[in-house]
Structures are given as C-alpha cells and as structure tokens.
Structure 1
Amino acid sequence: MGYVRELRKLVGNRPLILPGAVVIILNEQNEILLQHRSDGGWGLPGGIMELGESMEETGRREVQEETGLKVGELELMGIFSGEDYFLKVANGDELYSVTAVYATRDVTGDIVIDGVESLDVQYFPLAALPENLASGSRSYIEPYLSKLKDW
C-alpha cells in the first residue's frame, strides 16, 4: 500500500477515492472463502489497487497475500461505490471505496495464514455466513447469493 501512504503524506486524513477489488472464492461444496481480518471480523480477501495494476491483478495479488492461494479466471460480479462505501478508519483516515467484486472457483495452492492481515481463513456455507461478517463484505456478497448457489 505504498501509493496510499504517499498520498496520505500529502493530504493527511482528508477523504480519498480509493479503488480496490475483492474476490468471492467458492469451493466444490459451494462454500465461500472468508478471512478473519486482523482489523476486525470476517471478510472477503481483497484490498486497494497499487499503481499500474488492473482491478483483476489487484484481486489476484490480494488473495495470494492474504490466503496463499493463486487465482485464475475471474468473473466480474459488480462495482460498488457511493456514499454507502465511505469509511473512516481508526487512525482518522477517510475514504470512499470503489470496489470491484469478482467471483471464481479457479484457485490453486494451499491456504497460508500470514498472521498479519489474516488471523484465520476458512470456507463457510452460503446459507451460514458468520455473524461478524464485515458490513462491506456482506453488501458485496448478498446481491449475488442466488446466482452463486447455481454458479
């Protein structure tokens, strides 16, 4: 996140518009992969775009950093932005996120929990998402639940 750190040196805590990507990963049992984030509850793997990256590259990089898995083919599910995606983080930084939500079943490798961004990573049934699922992740998943069940 070097790009954002550099921006923050210039603008302080003022609101920024930050693009990013998250990935809905489904296994053969139609369960969704979630990570228990060190900064809160459960959520989708993903994060903020770095300079020169495409949205797809952002999603793939973030999944690998946060779960150890490599992602292949991605399907764009939607883009989320606007007032509902305003965040003020613990250090006072403000941002409006513009998030591309992708879905895939095309993953390889073994789950590796880094202990920094991810405290745990596990699959959950679509009908039994954890109670402490981050509100942003919930809003990214819920519009697609019926489609994902048949996907």
Structure 2
Amino acid sequence: MEYYKELRKFVGHSPLILPGSVVIIVNEKGELLLQERDNYFWGLPGGLMNLGESLIETAKREVFEETGLQINNLILLDVLSGPDYFYKNPNDDELYSVTAVYTTTDYIGELMPDMDESKSLKFYNVNYLPEKMEQEYKDCINAYLRTLNR
C-alpha cells in the first residue's frame, strides 16, 4: 500500500507533505514525452515516493511503471514546492506537493502506457505542447526550457 494512503487513516483530510519525482524524457529530436491522463489532461511521467526510496529511485520506478521505459543519467533541474503546489482533491484530501524535476535522454525500452494511469504516451515538440496541462507540469517543463536558454 502506498505510504500516503496509510497516513490518511490517521490524519483524515488534513494537509500532508508528499514528495515525488517527475521526469522529462527527451528523444533524439528534442521532443518531450508526455502522458495523457484519465482526465484527458497531459502531464509528465512520475509519482509519489515510497518509504525507503530516494527521489531518483522514485523517478525510475514511476517512469518504468507508467511508460515501460528504463531510464538512467538523470539530471536534477528543480524542486517545486511551496504554496503554489497546495492541492485539495475532490475527496477533500489536502496536500502540499514537493516535486523533484529530472530530465534525461538516456532511456531504453518500448513505450507501453500503464492503462490504469494513462490513456496514451506521446513525444511532443516543445513548441507545440498540448493546452490541456496542469500548471505544475507546465512549471516542470519551464524548468527544462530554462536550461536550453543558458
């Protein structure tokens, strides 16, 4: 069982701080891998940390679970946290997200979306990203784009 679900038994809907990782996977054309979620919004592969994991281990596990890809040589771009990353879920659970944003071009495997969490996976040109994307993912991609402009 996921750690935060166990905590919810004790704290109810009170705010939790939930660490996690997302990965911006870049192909040889410079395109970014995006994941279409069940709500028809696009995002980045990633998720919440399990007990005993490092943020890099979280990133690798989540990417493999959600995409079928094995990734290496992760570069930390940013850590997103603070009041802009407070969420109240439809079930009234409150959380503050702390997200490590990584990038890599080093991946192997065949794209296989986890149908429990994804509708599809697709590489996108950075100039033509889908409009239906939550702000946190846009912030992650902006962290990556800033590295291109250095």
TM-score norm. by structure 2 comes to 0.95
Match of 2:79 in 1: 79
Q: Secondary structure of the equivalent of 1:9?
A: helix
- 1:40 Cα shift? 4.8
Q: Is the 8 A contact 1:30 1:149 kept in 2?
A: no
5+ long unaligned stretches in structure 1: none
**For residues 23-82 of structure 1, what are the alpha-carbon distances to aligned partners after superposition, in whole Å with 9 as ceiling and x for unaligned?**
000000000000001245000101110000000000011101111111111000011100
Tell me how far apart the structure 1 counterparts of residues 3 and 39 of structure 2 sit (CA, whole Å): 20
Tell me how far apart the structure 1 counterparts of residues 115 and 149 of structure 2 sit (CA, whole Å): 31
Give the aligned length: 150
5+ long unaligned stretches in structure 2: none
Shift in alpha-carbon separation, 1:16–1:39, aligned structure 2, 3 A: farther
Match of 2:138 in 1: 138
Tell me how far apart the structure 2 counterparts of residues 67 and 119 of structure 1 sit (CA, whole Å): 11
Match of 2:128 in 1: 128
Tell me how far apart the structure 1 counterparts of residues 82 and 76 of structure 2 sit (CA, whole Å): 18
CA RMSD for the aligned pairs? 1.4
Q: Secondary structure of the equivalent of 2:59?
A: helix
Match of 1:91 in 2: 91
Moved more, 38-47 or 51-60: 38-47
Tell me how far apart the structure 1 counterparts of residues 48 and 77 of structure 2 sit (CA, whole Å): 18
Q: Secondary structure of the equivalent of 1:10?
A: helix
Does 1:108 find its partner at 2:111?
no
Pairs within 5 Å for 1:2-151 = 2-148=2-148
**For residues 115-135 of structure 1, what are the alpha-carbon distances to aligned partners after superposition, in whole Å with 9 as ceiling and x for unaligned?**
110110000001111000221
Q: Secondary structure of the equivalent of 2:119?
A: strand
Shift in alpha-carbon separation, 1:52–1:69, aligned structure 2, 3 A: same
Tell me how far apart the structure 2 counterparts of residues 78 and 98 of structure 1 sit (CA, whole Å): 10
Moved more, 51-60 or 128-137: 128-137
TM-score norm. by structure 1 comes to 0.94
Moved more, 110-119 or 46-55: 110-119
Tell me how far apart the structure 2 counterparts of residues 66 and 16 of structure 1 sit (CA, whole Å): 24
